[in-house]
Structure 1
């Protein structure tokens, strides 16, 4: 009879993310095993190799993103759109731990399966933005561009002087884009 799991898969994946944050993209299964308090063999038995854990982490993130976005109210109009975008951006925090997001993006570039899951996550966000825009032929394209502003501003923040927190930095650029692009004639 197999032993009962003392840690859920979600706990293990969260711990793997912590190791990724501290060790970077070169983290090992042994480091994850030590961090979570399981043997390397147990990790391999439950998840497979390091790439399989990365894939499960990405799949879990897509599911969490879907659940979170589905929990938010769907309202339209300029004020509702801004509240929604602000909610998304504020969830990113002031920048603490953002290096993990950059590390994950680097892995997504290298691994086609991770890249597909990143695309799914981005599509969920863009669909959620589009649902809050007026029903026009440009709705999907406008949502994609607003999401691009968020993603691009986050990378600009990485190269900034660091005096402004991540969310504030992004919101400033997003506000400008909405005022000048979304409401443009």
Structure 2
């Protein structure tokens, strides 16, 4: 007899987990909180992920593996490589709408950096993001949107501006995170615009 088909996908569960963590923090949520958000029992979550730690590790992997899709979707929406870059970067932080949510998600990202599995996913996330930024900047130079530049340096600077903008928005609390991120990255790109 084959097992019953799952009515809720792992992706839906992990998306629900990200919402819960952004609301209550990675140290305070329970499997019951995520189960309620995803429409599953805590036992069902344990059956799928093994433990709360297993679910957190799966979420870290899910966030890292989702980066290429965000950039691909942005390319589909925008003819301009720079517009696609701004869209992709903003979409990575799409679930953040308050400084508290940002603080909770950043705490999740940094909480387990000393653990090998979590660090491996964080490093893959960062490297993949850097490669995607670099590819769009190369395309922007080729299309004449940007002047010739050192794409390695500019890619790292864009990634650093993006990461820093997450923290500074939570402090300044000026406008939406989307607008803040775009403004900070555009300021970095402005001197290179053709």
Q: Which runs of 5+ in 2 are unaligned?
A: 143-147
Could you tell me which residue of structure 2 aligns to residue 48 of structure 1? 50
Tell me which residue corresponds to 1:10. 11
**Structure 2 counterpart SS, 1:5:** coil
The C-alpha deviation readout for 1:98-119, integer Å capped at 9, x for no partner, is 6444323222323132232122
TM-score normalised to structure 2 length = 0.75
Q: How far apart in 1 are the matches of 2:43 and 2:20?
A: 18
Between the aligned partners of 1:42 and 1:22, the Cα distance in structure 2 is: 22
| Structure 1 residue aligned with 2:161 | 149
C-alpha distance in structure 2 between counterparts of 1:117 and 1:73, whole Å: 24
Equivalent residues of 1:89, 1:150 under 8 A apart: yes
- Coordinate RMSD, CA, aligned: 2.9
Per the alignment, residue 118 of structure 1 pairs with 122
**Range moving further from structure 2, 17-26 or 47-56:** 17-26
Q: Is the 8 A contact 2:166 2:181 kept in 1?
A: yes
Q: Aligned-pair distance for 1:65? A: 1.5
SS in 1 for 2:128: helix
Q: Distance in 2 between matches of 1:72 and 1:175?
A: 16
Q: How many residues of Structure 1 are paired with residues of Structure 2 in the alignment?
A: 177
The 3 A distance-change label for structure 1 pair 145 and 58 is same
Residues 1:62 and 1:34: Cα distance change in structure 2 (over 3 Å): same
1:108 aligns with 2:109: yes
C-alpha deviation, 1:142, in angstroms: 1.9
1:87 aligned residue: 87
- The CA deviation string for residues 6-42 of structure 1, in whole angstroms up to 9 with x for no partner, is 2111222222222212221121112222333322222
Q: Contact conserved, 1:58 with 1:118, CA < 8 A, in 2? A: yes
Matches within 5 A, 1:19-34: 19-25=20-26, 26-34=28-36
